[in-house]
Structure 1
């Protein structure tokens, strides 16, 4: 998850720049100082909020945002801000910039601006200004930001592009990744030694004292809650017959299937006309004239061939498919006897479509000319236009109309619901009675997730923040009506609140004992395994080992990464070789590496692709080293970022 966050954050800073969207002149609170240039608290908080919001949009309720917003995430974000600031300083020192044309092309290539394009391809400047205004920027400020991002990119791109990876190194990596080893396993399980363990009372109390957080209960709130949604309102509505018939007429096109035809064709292509000068001495105009003559000749030949085929088909219409397989120059349909399947209006080029829709069943057209060449068309089936009856779509119409009417009424209902919840703050009953809602009960924690809640709204981060708000908990009043999306509001009233607490020793004594027994048993298993390993290195015995496993880094046969790492670190020059690894659960495992198989030479194209991937990785490592050197020689001062307010 942290790696994913890092990947999301880094691209997000590319064009945003190092100053953020807001807080450029705000130096009242800073999170870092890079060579005298301040990274403000407001700038940092804004970018953090943007990253968290991006996560919400990408994953919705599938990610617990409280768990994502961690000190590690905050440090990743701050480190990237510092790196961007260092690169900005270096770009200025090296007098790097970007041309107006480069800035313009970069902005025009931003996907978010596609909805702003006019029919002629230009950007609607008024809407462009409005979009930037929502981010607190003018076009001039955004231009400057993009220019700075392009200048910074010149440094990083030049370093990454200059990285080289020899083929010999790529071949060595390929050999290592494809190498196969034969091993046997001998495991020492802690459970086998647990009967030998009898921890003392002092050991139990000591473990409890040192690991109290393992026995803590989270903060909880038991709430009454009510949900108002457009879907709920829809269940109370019954559209009239007249409304349904009017909706049917208004949307008649949605219930109509246009006429479709199934056709086969034979295509004789005509090369496209392109005028090119063969060398510097050839006049372009002369070349164009010569090319036009050649193109006319090619078209005449294609037309003559098509006419000959048409004459043959007039005599033998049943041979259409066979002739299409032999003569058609459309690679997509020729193998199918020219069959194009069914198509409706607007699915073919205009001349072809007009001709096909005029033909009767099994009728063969004359020559039809298009940009592709000359077509001979035969219609093999016709599906007439169909209109679904009112009775057949009545239920669908009713459901759609309910949703439309509910969405229209939801806005007014939401306002009333919010007002009642706010004004009659001691109970949700008045609001529930007004809208015929059921007041339900649930026990929540700050980290309630969709996996732990059958009602998605209960896991919404905004709702949980409202429930555990200090004023709500202390004042014993309703939360505000929280918009959780999809035309849904939820409000809650806390009936019981339990702060986080550590359970007393007596209440968790049995759990403590189980943990201590497992730890001590794991230590006994380790000791026994270590003794066995020492003796095996002398005896080379295979007694007690599993059957042979054939492993590669791509096929690990169900072994854990720790085991695979130990096995492939083993010295392959002296076989058999014994290695050990402590696996999850305290299992002590010994592996007997018996043989290795060198892979065959990798194919040249795969080797080239691997070489390029390794060069990219090397470039990234070199860029990281360069950034580290910049940081070393720059005066960087970091303040705490733990308390940055990023929940709202």
Structure 2
């Protein structure tokens, strides 16, 4: 549900959601898997309530799936690292802490307030029916009903209130903001010289003894990773849908039963003349306003072609008067009811009687009408077929998932029985214990890779259990050939070793000459270095980051200051800071920069508040959440 809400809303406090509550997935439905002791192990606790490994796995799978939907070209391997999984768990802990705080502070909105928030927030416009109710078809497409949506929306609004008081009240005076921004904006003049290892490469020639010594010292760098050639099968909604057949009668029945979906909503284009009259105004004043409206109505009906000119000169709706009263096209629910009813009752070219609303008295002329026509069945057929295939596949999923799970387990010596039973495709691949860069889909799933490299799978050549590698996606694999990790012989990697040793030796020569030049620069303040630059932490074109940081760290009270920077494989740099430049007026008075500083300060305060809440509600991540597992637990930092 929260995936759906996140895909359709951008909160005013968007940065709060990004920093403080990035996941919000702690009430997801458990995956269709066998529950084992490991899956039910507690990996975290908040306010005495546990988060299990199964919940963690499910949340991370949803995170990866959501990222894949939002960025189809994303390399999801970066989301399946130990750090990425740890981030997901910490997100779950944050969510639980914020929910516990919302409940303790009684911040949950009432039904009336929840309805008001839903109806008035423009971000939910696409989810509302004209009468303000939630569109149940949209919810059903996401596997939800209105009760589930209301419960989750209530939690979101409650949690927002926990931190919004901190984030919305932070401020920084111009002086404080400027002092805080100075390390970022300050510019310094410097001279510098780089000693590039490439310039020394021709001067080095590693011996065989050098290569062997480097190889022995760095054998761990020259390992061939453990790998396995596998065959595997996958059951997902697309696979199920491919095996389904739908008759024209089924498609036509759906079309007839859902005629409203395939009919463009009626719209009207209208122009109006408004004479304002407040409901609380004296009766005499309201009577005078109505008489004026009636006079304009008579004039409009007398010369309909002059309606636009009449509106420009007389309408008190300043927004539309300049457009001749034109309101463009609008549908049901866009205007107040009395205005809407009058407009939709008119044919194009017709003028209404006086229409009274809370704004005053209107004279309405409908200028065009569109919509209300059904799309032909032939045009909608493809769309209907896709939807019915998807919904039918979803209905069949529980039954077929159970058959898949049972078959690969009960007939574990081959994948052929499940292939024959469910008409699946056999696939092959070579995989390693961790997903490789660029890998996507089921073979990027840590759970599947763990199952493939389990001892029983490798030793006994058994099928893995059915592994959920995504929403409505089960995979089972079988190892055909296993290759253990091994250290490559020097002969196999000699050229790679030679390149590394030569690079290190060239970098050492560059460093030696650089250090000699630094000694000269420190003795002779007049010694000029070949390249001049003006740098700041924000702008440093062509200057290595390490050089910039060294320049900005130099003691401004002792200028000129010379320093050396070891750039590792990139060589060595010598620099001299000669001057600190004053902040220019544009930067000193930049309200946008000060606003960004205030926002950053607000997020820092929000983060500190969150840490206090974690302590209050005894949030902790268990050692079982780390690999390898240990018995102790550690407080959340």
Q: TM-score, normalised by structure 2?
A: 0.71
Q: Secondary structure at the match of 1:104?
A: coil
The CA deviation string for residues 449-500 of structure 1, in whole angstroms up to 9 with x for no partner, is 57224xx122223322221222222221111222334433221111112233
Relative to 1, partners in 2 of residues 1:389 and 1:417: Cα closer, same or farther, differing over 3 Å? same
Residue 349 of structure 1: which of 329, 333, 336 is its match?
336
Deviations along 1:116-152, whole A, 9 cap, x unmatched? Answer: xxx999xxxxx9xx99xx9xxxxxxx9xxx99xx9xx
Residue among 440, 444, 450 paired with 1:465:
450
1:566 equivalent in alignment to 2:550:
yes
Q: In structure 1, what is the equivalent of residue 29 of structure 2?
A: none
Judge conservation of contact 1:450–1:459 (CA < 8 Å) in 2: no
C-alpha distance in 2, partners of 1:353/1:298?
25
Which deviates further from its counterpart, 566-575 or 477-486? Answer: 566-575
Instruction: Say if 1:615 and 1:241 are closer, same or farther in 2 by CA, change over 3 A.
Output: closer
CA distance in 1, matches of 2:535, 2:598: 27
1:6/1:445 CA distance change after superposition, 3 Å: farther
Report what 1:514 is aligned to. Answer: 499
Q: How far does residue 259 in structure 1 lie from its aligned partner after superposition?
A: 2.8
The match for 1:474 among 427, 451, 459 is 459
Conserved 8 A contact 2:204-2:506: yes
CA distance in 2, matches of 1:586, 1:394: 62
Instruction: Report SS of the residue matched to 1:422.
Output: helix
Q: Does 1:240 align with 2:227?
A: no
Cα 1:639–1:490 shift into 2, 3 Å:
closer
Deviations 1:23-65 (A, max 9, x none): xxxxxx999xxxxxxx989979837765665443233363556
Instruction: Tell me the residue number matched to 2:107.
Output: 105
Q: Please state how far the C-alpha of 1:352 moved relative to its aligned partner.
A: 0.9
* DSSP-derived class of the 2:414 partner: coil
Q: Deviations over 1:402-449 (max 9, x none)?
A: 333333344433333333322222221222233333312101122215
Q: Secondary structure at the match of 1:491?
A: strand
Q: Distance in 2 between matches of 1:316 and 1:385?
A: 30
CA distance in 1, matches of 2:254, 2:168: 60
Of stretches 60-69 and 39-48 in structure 1, the one that deviates more from structure 2 is: 39-48
Q: Encode CA deviations 1:225-267: one digit per residue, 9 max, x unaligned.
A: 1223332232333322222222221222221123322111222
- Summarize deviations over 1:307-331 as a string: whole Å, max 9, x none: 3433443344333323433443334
**1: CA distance, partners of 2:347 / 2:591:** 53
C-alpha deviation, 1:376, in angstroms = 1.7
Bigger radius of gyration, 1 or 2? 1
| Residue pair 1:581, 1:590 contacting (<8 A) in 2 also | yes
The equivalent of 2:12 in structure 1 is none
The answer for unaligned runs of 5 or more in structure 2 is: 1-15, 27-40, 69-75, 119-131, 135-143, 632-637
Which residue of the partner structure matches residue 188 of structure 1?
195
After TM superposition, the structure 1 = structure 2 runs for residues 422-441 of structure 1, keeping only pairs within 5 Å, are: 422-441=409-428
1:58 aligned residue (34, 41, 63): 63
Instruction: Give the 5 Å matches for 1:386-535.
Output: 386-448=373-435, 451-453=438-440, 456-535=441-520
Match of 2:214 among 185, 189, 207: 207
State how far apart, in whole Å, the 1-side matches of 2:227 and 2:575 are.
Answer: 47
Aligned partners of 1:206 and 1:324: how far apart in 2?
A: 91
TM normalised by structure 1 equals 0.69
Partner in structure 2 of residue 581 of structure 1: 565
Give the counterpart of 1:230 among 216, 237, 251: 237
Please state if 1:256 is matched with 2:229: no
> Is the 2:25–2:92 contact (alpha carbons within 8 Å) kept by the matching residues of 1?
no
Find out whether 1:603 has 2:595 as its counterpart: no
CA contact (8 A) 2:563 2:575 kept: yes
- Aligned equivalents of 1:470 and 1:210: distance in 2? 31
**In structure 2, how many angstroms separate the alpha carbons of the residues matched to 1:580 and 1:417?**
64
Kindly state the Cα deviation for residue 200 of structure 1 after the two structures are TM-superposed.
4.1
Do 1:45 and 1:644's aligned partners in 2 also have CA atoms closer than 8 Å? no
* 3-state DSSP of counterpart to 1:257: coil
Query: Does residue 330 of structure 1 match 2:330?
Result: no
Change (3 A) 1:567 1:53: farther
SS in 1 for 2:106: helix
Distance 2:235 2:623 in 1: 44
Q: Could you tell me how far 1:504 is from its partner in structure 2?
A: 2.9
What's the offset of the Cα at 1:385? 2.3
Aligned to 2:273: 266
Aligned equivalents of 1:108, 1:364: Cα separation in 2: 44
Is contact 1:424–1:430 with CA below 8 Å preserved after alignment? yes
Greater Cα offset, 390-399 or 294-303: 294-303
Q: Deviations over 1:484-522 (max 9, x none)?
A: 344332211111122333323332232222222212211
**Contact (CA 8 Å) 1:258, 1:344: kept in 2 or not?**
yes
In the alignment, the residues of structure 1 paired with residue 221 and residue 286 of structure 2 have an alpha-carbon distance, to the nearest angstrom, of 83
How far apart in 2 are the matches of 1:585 and 1:272? 79
Q: Secondary structure at the match of 2:105?
A: helix
- What is the CA–CA distance in structure 1 between the aligned matches of 2:254 and 2:88, rounded to whole Å? 53
Match of 2:355 in 1: 368
- CA 1:242–1:194 in 2, change beyond 3 Å: closer, same or farther? same
Q: In structure 2, what is the Cα distance between the partners aligned to 1:66 and 1:380?
A: 58
Helix, strand or coil at the partner of 2:407: helix
Matched, 1:310 2:297: yes
- Spell out, residue by residue over 1:549-597, the C-alpha distance to the aligned partner (whole angstroms, 9 max, x if none): 4544333325443232123234556776554433463332334556535
Give me the whole-angstrom Cα distance separating, in 1, the residues matched to 2:255 and 2:608. 65
SS at match of 1:452: coil
Superposed displacement of residue 66, structure 1: 5.4
Which stretch shifts more, 198-207 or 212-221? 198-207
Partners of 1:540 and 1:576 within 8 A in 2: no
CA deviation profile, 1:67-97 (whole Å, cap 9, x unmatched): 225898799899999xx9xxxxxxxxxxxx9
How far apart are the structure 1 equivalents of 2:452 and 2:201?
A: 45
Q: Alignment partner of 1:342: what SS?
A: strand
